[in-house]
Amino acid sequence: MQQRRRKSAVRSGTGAAQATTEGSDRVAGWGTLVIGIVVAGFLYWKNHYTRMGFEEYYLLNNSLLLWIPLCFILLCLRRDASEFGMTPGDLKKGARLALIGFLLFIPVLLFIAPTPAPQNYYIGNSLSQSGAIFGVRPGPGGGFSGGTIDWGRLVFHESVFGFYMFCWEWFFRGFLLFGVRKALPDWFAVVFQALLFFALHVGKPAPELYSSLAGGLLLGVIALRLRSFLPCFLIHWAISMAFDCAVLFFHFRR
């Protein structure tokens, strides 16, 4: 009789612990969803409707995308960030997949980089703001011509972008993806983070805007499979650097 009571007590304790975990996961999942909408909405407004310099833009975006999720996880939920994809995961598979993804995307970069929209956006905006290229002037047929590359500032530009990509991938393919799936189906978590990722690309050249939705979905699946956002960061940063180089190459080739 006592043995039966002990077994019953163990089952009862296990059931209570499971219920507590499920309840905690629901709080984590829905809390992540709300934070994702609020942070993405604020950044959409701030990035589109206020004037910011290069340093202010990246400082603000990086701070919100990195620290708000970490504070929520560590201070509010009292959980480990590894539950949200901040872990090496499968290192070998992740590195191999990142390299394959980068190589497959090179033809796309070479096709898009010489077109007017990215040339105007990156030469006249992103690369000029950071000082990676200076002395550009409006071209006779629209767009920009001339200019000189400051190689030191270009390295600075890519380093800043590297940390920016880390914060973006942590927020979307780490925090949002692994957080939302604690309360909702995996497919919803993948689609949700991809849609917010797409929304924050509004205003960029059309090829980059529309590819961000497909890319967000694909990177979400990769992060889930590998249990880490780090391979997505490597892919995103490598593609970003290669695209900047391609844009500069075609700019000076004209």
Task: Annotate 32-101 with DSSP letters as a single string.
Answer: HHHHHHHHHHHHHHHHHHS---HHHHHHHHHHHHHHHHHHIIIIII---GGGGT-S--SHHHHHHHHHHH
Q: Quote the pLDDT of residue 55.
A: 87
Q: Which residues contact 204 (CB under 8 A, 6 or more apart)?
A: 121, 212
Q: Quote the pLDDT of residue 22.
A: 66
Among residues 134, 155, 157, which one has the least CA distance to residue 146? Answer: 134
The residue to which tokens 């391979």 are assigned? 231
Question: What whole-number distance in Å separates Cα of residue 42 and Cα of residue 45?
Answer: 5
Summarised one tens digit per residue, pLDDT across range 71-112 is: 999 999 999 999 999 998 888 888 888 888 889 889 989 999
Strand partners, 133: 149
Q: What is the pTM of this model?
A: 0.87
Among residues 55, 24, 65, which one has the least CA distance to residue 172? Answer: 65
Q: Quote the pLDDT of residue 254.
A: 73
Q: Residue 140 — very low, low, confident or very high, per pLDDT cuts 50/70/90?
A: confident
Summarised one tens digit per residue, pLDDT across range 13-64 is: 455 445 556 678 999 999 999 999 999 999 999 998 998 888 899 999 999 9
Strand partners, 8: none
The one-letter code for the residue type at 191 is: V
